[in-house]
């Protein structure tokens, strides 16, 4: 079948919950993707910040193939070596103490919310505790994750959500303080908001929320699903400021393509929250997924990924700023590391569509922001190539 025939087959078979771009991707190598007709695309999306190591990394592929030949799944009634090794390494790079592997970022958020509420329940026996989340946040599409997502358009068709969620403003500490009641048990935020507009938490705000949580006996939950795993030049974005959470979530680049996530917590929370029977998953932490995590963490260290991001990210920022100066329709650049956004004075879908025609894959964050979350292995050459294409698309 040709490309259009495949797309027609997809539209006839798949539930239409995505307005997909009109290409059928087939393979990848490095920072480039190829469709089934052989057209080459420079990828500045990375599967929405997932493929940090680029495509067709041979060491990664061999590790997965070797695990497939040994054992793919056992369930959590038994131990498996890849999960043990992955958890040990994840603890080391995150500075956290306890790990629960999930299948996705949304599931990691679900687990983090449950852990926070169980922790509060064990303290006073009450079941009416509240969680403060941020407006414009995005934490996932499942009912619990949706309940703490600070965008009404995502929540309203599926209400009622889980209750006792309050919303405050990102980088506005006073709004968080105003939302605290005697029922509050936790504050949840993305260290860098992704879908909400590529907005990093300021150091002052993050430290202020941490101090507030310490003062009031609340848990700090940080969602590092998109901004974690080296994207800001630190393994987790909060590490730049030394503001350690009580519970954190991670996913996306954690498995570099294999569906896997995790929520992690300190020993204090781990010892006084979820116990046997409180939470579970059939597939989470299976040998194949954890073999991916294990190898990804090894490759991050061996290939000095964090150092590379810190070297190349300023150049991306510089080139985006130059683009902003050339085009009056670009209002602002914002973001952190290799998680950047350009804010336009108009919808950006037409520009993204035009870029795709010219061999450049980009995505949006809202209707007016182009999001740049490329593989972490990009070089100055790839940034220049992207800027040249995007510059022409904006001109047109």
Q: CA 199 from chain center: how many Å?
A: 13
| 352 vs 357: CA distance, rounded Å | 9
**pLDDT tens, 256-277?**
999 999 999 999 999 999 999 9
Q: Is the peptide bond before 17 cis (omega within 30 degrees of 0)?
A: no
Percent of the chain with pLDDT over 90: 99
CATH 3.40.640.10 fits 59-302, yes or no: yes
User: Tokens 């954190």 correspond to what residue?
Assistant: 248
**pLDDT tens, 56-93?**
999 999 999 999 999 999 999 999 999 999 999 999 99
**For residue 37, how many C-alpha atoms fall within 13 Å in the half-sphere facing its CB?**
11
Q: What's the pLDDT at 254? A: 98
Q: What's the pLDDT at 98? A: 98
Terminal CA-CA length for the chain: 33
User: Rounded mean pLDDT of the chain?
Assistant: 97
Domains of the chain: which residue ranges? 1-43+338-385, 59-302
**Would you say 135 and 141 are in contact if contact means Cβ atoms under 8 Å apart?**
no
Instruction: State the helix-helix crossing angle for 305-326 and 380-395, rounded to 10 degrees.
Output: 20
**pLDDT tens, 185-210?**
999 999 999 999 999 999 999 999 99
**pLDDT tens, 264-310?**
999 999 999 999 999 999 999 999 999 999 999 999 999 999 999 99
**What does residue 148 show for φ and ψ, rounded to 5 degrees?**
-100, 10
E strands, the chain, in order: 25-29, 32-35, 40-43, 98-102, 130-134, 165-168, 184-190, 192-193, 199-200, 219-223, 247-250, 261-265, 330-336, 339-344, 360-361, 363-364, 369-372
Mean pLDDT on 115-134:
97
Is the pLDDT at 245 greater than 90? The verdict is yes
- Of the pLDDT bands very low, low, confident and very high (cuts 50, 70, 90), residue 11 is very high
Is the pLDDT at 357 greater than 90? The verdict is yes
- Of the pLDDT bands very low, low, confident and very high (cuts 50, 70, 90), residue 211 is very high
Q: Helix (H, G, I), strand (E, B), or coil: what is residue 48? A: helix
Q: Helix (H, G, I), strand (E, B), or coil: what is residue 95? A: coil
Q: What's the pLDDT at 27? A: 97
**pTM passes above 0.85:** yes
- Of the pLDDT bands very low, low, confident and very high (cuts 50, 70, 90), residue 140 is very high
**Would you say 374 and 31 are in contact if contact means Cβ atoms under 8 Å apart?**
yes
Is the pLDDT at 396 greater than 90? The verdict is no
CATH number of 1-43+338-385: 3.90.1150.10
Give the other-Cβ count within 10 Å of 392's Cβ. Answer: 13
């Amino acid at each position: 079948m040709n490309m259009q025939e495949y797309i027609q087959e997809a539209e006839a078979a798949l539930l239409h919950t995505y307005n997909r771009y009109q290409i059928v991707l087939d393979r990848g190598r490095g920072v480039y993707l190829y469709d089934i007709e052989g057209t080459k695309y420079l990828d500045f999306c990375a599967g929405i910040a997932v493929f940090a190591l680029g495509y067709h990394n041979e060491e990664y592929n061999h590790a997965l193939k070797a695990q497939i030949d040994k054992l793919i799944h056992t369930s959590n009634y038994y131990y498996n070596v890849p999960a043990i090794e992955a958890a040990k390494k994840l603890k080391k790079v995150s500075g956290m103490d306890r790990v629960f592997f999930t299948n996705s970022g949304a599931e990691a958020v679900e687990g983090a919310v449950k852990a926070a509420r169980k922790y509060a329940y064990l303290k006073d026996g009450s079941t009416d505790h509240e969680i403060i989340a941020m407006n414009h946040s995005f934490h996932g599409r499942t009912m619990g994750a949706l309940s703490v997502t600070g965008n009404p358009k995502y929540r309203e068709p599926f209400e009622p959500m889980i209750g006792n969620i309050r919303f405050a403003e990102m980088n506005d500490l006073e709004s968080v303080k105003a939302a605290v009641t005697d029922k509050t048990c936790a504050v949840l935020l993305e260290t860098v908001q992704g879908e909400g507009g590529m907005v990093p938490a300021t150091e002052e705000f993050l430290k202020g929320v941490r101090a507030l949580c310490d003062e009031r006996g609340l848990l700090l939950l940080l969602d590092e699903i998109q901004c974690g795993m080296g994207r800001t030049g630190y393994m987790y974005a909060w590490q730049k400021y030394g503001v350690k959470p009580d519970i954190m979530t991670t996913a996306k680049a954690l498995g570099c393509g294999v569906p896997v996530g995790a929520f992690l917590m300190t020993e204090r929370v781990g010892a006084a929250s979820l116990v046997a029977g409180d939470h579970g998953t059939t597939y989470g932490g299976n040998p194949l997924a954890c073999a991916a995590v294990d190898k990804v963490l090894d490759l991050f260290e061996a290939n000095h990924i964090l150092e590379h991001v810190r070297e190349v990210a300023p150049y991306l920022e510089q080139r985006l700023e130059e683009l902003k100066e050339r085009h009056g329709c670009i209002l602002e650049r914002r973001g952190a590391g290799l998680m950047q956004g350009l804010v336009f004075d108009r919808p950006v879908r037409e520009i993204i569509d035009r870029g795709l025609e010219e061999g450049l894959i980009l995505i949006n964050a809202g209707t007016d922001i182009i999001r740049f979350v490329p593989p972490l292995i990009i070089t100055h050459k790839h940034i220049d190539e992207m800027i040249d294409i995007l510059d022409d698309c904006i001109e047109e």
